[in-house]
Amino acid sequence: MGALQSLPGRPEYSDLAEKTGFSFEQIGVLHKRFKQLSHNEETLRRDHFNEIHDLAFNPIRAQIIEAFFDRRNFHQDGEGKVQEIGFEEFVVVMSHFRPPSDHMTEEQREKTRREKLRFLFNMHDTDNDGTITLEEYRHVVEELLSRSGTLEKETAKCIADAAMLEVASISVGHMEPDEFYEGITFEHFLKLLDGFEIESRMTIRFLNMDTTTLCK
Amino acid sequence: MPSRTVSHGSSGRLRGLFLVMVLVFLESSVFTLAFASSDQHSPTTAHSDGHKATDHGSHNNTGKAFPVLDLNYENVRVPFEISLWVLLASLMKLGFHLVPHLSNIVPESCLLIVVGLLVGGIIRGTGETVPPVLDSKLFFYILLPPIILDAGYFLPIRPFMENLGTILIFAVVGTLWNAFFVGGLLYGVCQIGTESSSILSRIGLLQCLLFGSIISAVDPVAVLAVFEEIHINELLHILVFGESLLNDAVTVVLYHLFEEFSGIGTVTLVKGFLGVISFFVVALGGVLVGVLYGILAAFTSRFTSHTRVIEPLFVFLYSYMAYLSAEIFHLSGIMALIACGAVMRPYVEANISHKSHTTIKYFLKMWSSVSETLIFIFLGVATVAGPHDWNWTFVTVTVILCLVARVIGVVGLTFIINKFRIVKLTTKDQFIIAYGGLRGAIAFSLGFLLEKDHFPEREIFLTAIITVIFFTVFVQGMTIKPLVELLAVKKKQEAKRSINEEIHTQFLDHLLTGIEDICGHYGHHHWKDKLNRFNKKYVKKCLIAGERSKEPQLIAFYHKMEMKQAIQLVESGGGIKLPSAMPSTVSMQNIQPRPPTKPAAERAIPQLSKTKEEEIRKILRTNLQRTRQRLRSYNRHTLVADPYEDGLSDLFLKKQKMFQIEKKLKEMNTYLTVPAPPPDSPTMCRARLASGKHTDFKPDQVQKGNKMCSDPQAYSIKPALNKVPMIQVDLASPQSPDSVNLLDEFGQANQQEEEEQGLMMKPPSRPREGKKPGEEDEAKDQQKLMRCLSDPGPSADEDEDGAFLP
């Protein structure tokens, strides 16, 4: 899509474009934004993200920021966290939010779904053990409710418990009273959000990004 | 009712059919009586006048004896007839569902039109003139508003807003295209295709365009009636339905525009331009009026906590006023009604009692159902009434053109729209959208409104309109269901709004907003988030009473779900298996990170001390009272509180639970630190390790710790009581009778808490998981201990209870 326009001499863009599926224009815009956020440095750090003013109101901003520094989202089979990211990692993380392209086979669509759900899963599974335990889920719900004013910790716990129960019911079905459901694995997570149409919901319209709004 | 019929076998059905038939004939005979009596009207009054006169005269005139039984139908004529019509409509609705299989094949709307035809035929057959029942005033001011309000109040906002662009394009551009295409081509056909002397060639362009604008609007009543029964997926439903609602503005503008132009006879460019402006005025003005009244209604509902009985009335009145106010200024009344209902709903629902909510829902459904039935019956009657002027060319060309225009319009617009949509509309979708463009009574009423002197060809128009309506409702309405099956269109998913989906919907919203902020891109989510924040900060404070204004959406959703499940539970009989979509035996204990191995009976367990029991009971009772306090607001203060009506069945349920808890507590076996079990059992290991920490604790104190601690792990009784979430547990484990389940849960919860005292010993087969939860448990145990130690006692708990009762 689109020709290499006002970005001369950027061979790495074609790699990125191929890897992430963005167009050259989109990568160019993202690069501009990257430079803006990082104050023209080579890498982004967490405090750069903390400077974004709009993000302050977001109840899950900590998790969002962490997601950028999570190696699991870099598609390189790494684990753990990094302290700073380069432009490539930035684009790779952003690529999770690309809308599905028009002509996708069922297989590609499934792959996209898995990718996006994997991103969400990684956001919840903070200790990298492959399952979302009850504690982690509780943390998610608490964070969601954290900006709502009233700190209703008990209700948050009950909501998380109920949700966990639901997952267990859907995924495992029958459990003996003495069995134990350790946590939501990725497969269960997939099953849980089956009807969620994540591939169209978890998207940003990169198409409409114009540089006039990149004012911060 | 159907089940009863089935169980009685064929005799029941025959009985039902017979009853319906008898009633139909009864009604029609009464009608004839009514009309017959109108002939006697004058003689009767004259006679009674004469009688009075003579009475005033001398007493010698004995005359007629005092009428013990007199027939005076005229006084009650109008209300009586209205009631008869409504009764007929309702009985018809009943009848259709008694007849098996009929409602599967033929949509209700078709049957009702047929009934109308029959009734009209009967009336005409007896020689009377058929009353012009589908009077436009009656239709637009009485019959239509309930249907639209029902649609607007229960409009699913999220899908509507997400697809608003598509809906608007279909509604505005699509209707305009339809109107001009049909009108223009019809004019061409009339001019070219027929001889110059025929009546058709006298129809002017403007008249044709007016006719086109009347006939091109997709009708919400018909769409609702048919789409209700086919259960297609939400996207298609909202697209067609939203289009039918929003095209009202276009129809209003076009209608008035062409009507005026036809009257005046000349069209100028300025007038055309003014027409465009007036479209925006009509649409936006209607929405504005609706929003205004919606806010008023929300604000009023904030103060209704003492007069719960009239809460529904405010909703209805404000909405109706919005509709009428919009109609005063020739703005779009439908859009006003939709806007009013949609705007007021979240705030009103937060303010009103549960009973009022149910009342509103049921009244709206009832009125809209009756209205819809009446509309279709009247349509049938009006068809019989005429006046008709059948013109083969005109009618057939109209029907064909309508179909063609719709198809071309939908396909063309989808092509453009798909460029901007993330979820594209497939060919199947387009077909359903095109095929679902049903015309209905609005078109007929608009045609009926035409004045004869401006439109000498009014009858031709009416006939054509009726034919198109019949065609779409009968042919398209009947065939759409098998077509949907044939094309395997996605059906509506049994929307079990699960708590997980709600959590993730919210999570995704925030995530996408965050990503947009990181990108610096002020997109869709950014503005939505801003609106939400504005709403939360300012609007909710004004319009929602008391503490509810701060309740976050997730919690509100959760409480609503609990309430629903509680009602469901009690309605299903309490002890009967709850039908669940997810049959499983998973219950709370399965997800709590410790294995509740049922201990053997060999443990000797100390009983709860009396004081402990008393404390527990007191806490339970206060919890119950707390909930009752909240539920008391649902009372009708003017009436004596009926214990069974009070607080739905929740209280009853809670009483039941409390009783069970107490019963359970009496027999509860707590197995804390007693080293009775054999050495290598998990219990023993647990106990051994536990005793290392806990032996110094008195049982009752740990008991206290169990019950009173706001333990994050323990599924304690206390929080459980403050909601009805026991139910959600039951939902997951429907195999066992729910009441027993409750017991089990409490029992197991208690046992669990006991077990939590010790370390969990997991089988070594799951090393990875075993390690972590074990460590967790240790940490939590420590936590728990600390909490137990620091726990000041029941009073603290009550405060906590207060905290999370919203």
Indicate whether A121 belongs to any domain: yes
Query: Does the pLDDT value for residue B626 go beyond 80?
Result: no
d(CA A187, CA B362): 42
Banded model confidence at residue B229, pLDDT cuts 50, 70, 90: confident
> Using the beta-carbon criterion (under 8 Å), do A165 and B729 form an inter-chain contact?
yes
User: Which tops the pLDDT comparison, B651 or B487?
Assistant: B487
Task: Work out the average pLDDT over B364-388.
Answer: 86
Q: Render each residue's pLDDT in chain A as its tens digit; 216 residues.
A: 444 444 444 666 777 777 777 777 878 888 888 888 888 888 888 888 888 777 788 888 888 888 888 777 777 777 777 888 888 888 888 888 887 776 778 888 888 888 888 888 888 888 878 888 888 888 888 888 776 655 567 777 887 888 887 777 777 767 666 666 777 788 888 877 777 777 778 887 765 555 444 444
Closest Cα of chain B to A8: distance in Å?
23
Residue B323: the pLDDT is 94
Query: Does the pLDDT value for residue B464 go beyond 70?
Result: yes
Indicate the range of A206-210, B37-41, B317-321 predicted with least confidence: B37-41
Residue B174: the pLDDT is 92
> Using the beta-carbon criterion (under 8 Å), do A180 and B593 form an inter-chain contact?
yes
Averaging pLDDT over each range in B24-38, B423-437, B519-533, which range is the top one?
Answer: B423-437
A-to-B residue pairs, Cβ atoms closer than 8 angstroms:
219
* B124-to-B73, B382, B465 alpha-carbon distances in Å: 21, 11, 22
Q: What is the pTM of this model?
A: 0.69
Give the domain range for residue A171: 113-192
Q: Do A49 and A93 belong together in one domain? A: yes
Residue B406: the pLDDT is 93
Indicate whether A23 belongs to any domain: yes
* B203-to-B212, B415, B444 alpha-carbon distances in Å: 13, 35, 19
Quick check: A163 contacting B, CB < 8 Å? yes
User: Which tops the pLDDT comparison, B446 or B267?
Assistant: B446
Query: Does the pLDDT value for residue B91 go beyond 50?
Result: yes
Residue A3: the pLDDT is 45
Of B309, B357, B297, B303, the closest CA to residue B545 belongs to B303
Does the bond joining B596 to the residue before it have cis omega, within 30 degrees of 0? no
Interface test with B, best of A91, A132, A144 (most B CBs within 10 A): A144
Where residue A118 sits, what CATH number does that domain have?
Answer: 1.10.238
Closest Cα of chain A to B605: distance in Å?
21
* B566-to-A56, B414, B561, B694 alpha-carbon distances in Å: 38, 44, 9, 38
What proportion of chain B, given as a percentage, has pLDDT over 70? 61
User: Per the structure, how many domains does chain A have?
Assistant: 2
Of B533, B590, B803, the CB nearest to A168: B590
Indicate the range of A118-127, B7-16, B339-348 predicted with least confidence: B7-16
- Per-residue model confidence as pLDDT tens digits over B285-314: 999 999 999 999 998 888 888 888 888 999
Of B645, B65, B553, the closest CA to residue B544 belongs to B553
**Amino acid present at B640:** V
Indicate whether A55 belongs to any domain: yes
What is the maximum alpha-carbon separation in chain B? 117
| Domain end residue (candidates: A47, A76, A99) | A99
SS3 B359: helix
* B412-to-A80, B430, B523, B727 alpha-carbon distances in Å: 51, 10, 27, 51
| Domain end residue (candidates: A49, A65, A99) | A99
- Per-residue model confidence as pLDDT tens digits over B194-205: 665 566 667 778
CB B495 within 8 A of CB A44: no
- Sequence-distant (≥ 6) Cβ neighbours of residue A61 within 8 angstroms: A55, B514
Task: Work out the average pLDDT over B333-358.
Answer: 89
Q: Do A130 and A64 belong together in one domain? A: no
Of B584, B535, B622, B613, the closest CA to residue B797 belongs to B622
Residue B363: the pLDDT is 92
Length of chain B: 806
- List the single residue in A with minimal CA-CA distance to B494: A195
pLDDT, chain B, mean = 71
Indicate the range of B115-119, B357-361, B534-538, B709-713 predicted with least confidence: B709-713
| Burial tier of A147 (Cβ tally within 10 Å: 0-12, 13-18, 19+) | middle
d(CA B294, CA B67): 54
Quick check: A47 contacting B, CB < 8 Å? no
ipTM of the complex: 0.89
CB B770 within 8 A of CB B683: no
- List the single residue in B with minimal CA-CA distance to A94: B515
Residue B484: the pLDDT is 87
Q: Do A92 and A135 belong together in one domain? A: no
Closest Cα of chain A to B730: distance in Å?
11
Residue B23: the pLDDT is 60
Of B495, B486, B440, B493, the closest CA to residue B232 belongs to B493
What proportion of chain A, given as a percentage, has pLDDT over 70? 82
Of A155, A140, A61, A164, the closest CA to residue B551 belongs to A155
Query: Does the pLDDT value for residue B330 go beyond 80?
Result: yes
User: Which tops the pLDDT comparison, B402 or A108?
Assistant: B402
Residue B326: the pLDDT is 92
Interface test with A, best of B233, B515, B578 (most A CBs within 10 A): B515
How far is CA B539 from its chain centroid?
24
Quick check: A175 contacting B, CB < 8 Å? yes
Interface test with B, best of A89, A131, A132, A175 (most B CBs within 10 A): A175
Closest Cα of chain A to B388: distance in Å?
51
Q: Extract the tokens encoding A105.
A: 């086979």
Of A33, A52, A158, the CB nearest to B719: A158
Closest Cα of chain A to B590: distance in Å?
5
Chain B residues touching A158 at Cβ < 8 A: 558, 719, 723, 725
Task: Work out the average pLDDT over B389-404.
Answer: 86
Banded model confidence at residue B408, pLDDT cuts 50, 70, 90: very high
Length of chain A: 216
Q: Do A21 and A47 belong together in one domain? A: yes
- Sequence-distant (≥ 6) Cβ neighbours of residue B127 within 8 angstroms: none
Of B111, B139, B119, the closest CA to residue B383 belongs to B119
d(CA B720, CA A178): 21
d(CA B323, CA B334): 7
Banded model confidence at residue B591, pLDDT cuts 50, 70, 90: low
DSSP structure string for B637-684: TTSPPPTTTTTTTHHHHHHHHHHHHHHHHHH----SS---S-TTSHHH
User: Which tops the pLDDT comparison, B682 or B225?
Assistant: B225
> Using the beta-carbon criterion (under 8 Å), do B558 and A162 form an inter-chain contact?
yes
Residue A21: the pLDDT is 76
Q: Extract the tokens encoding B640.
A: 């004596």
Indicate the range of A25-34, B232-241, B342-351, B460-469 predicted with least confidence: A25-34
> Using the beta-carbon criterion (under 8 Å), do B500 and A102 form an inter-chain contact?
no
Indicate the range of B118-132, B226-240, B582-596 predicted with least confidence: B582-596
* B455-to-B23, B195, B211, B391, B401 alpha-carbon distances in Å: 40, 20, 10, 16, 21
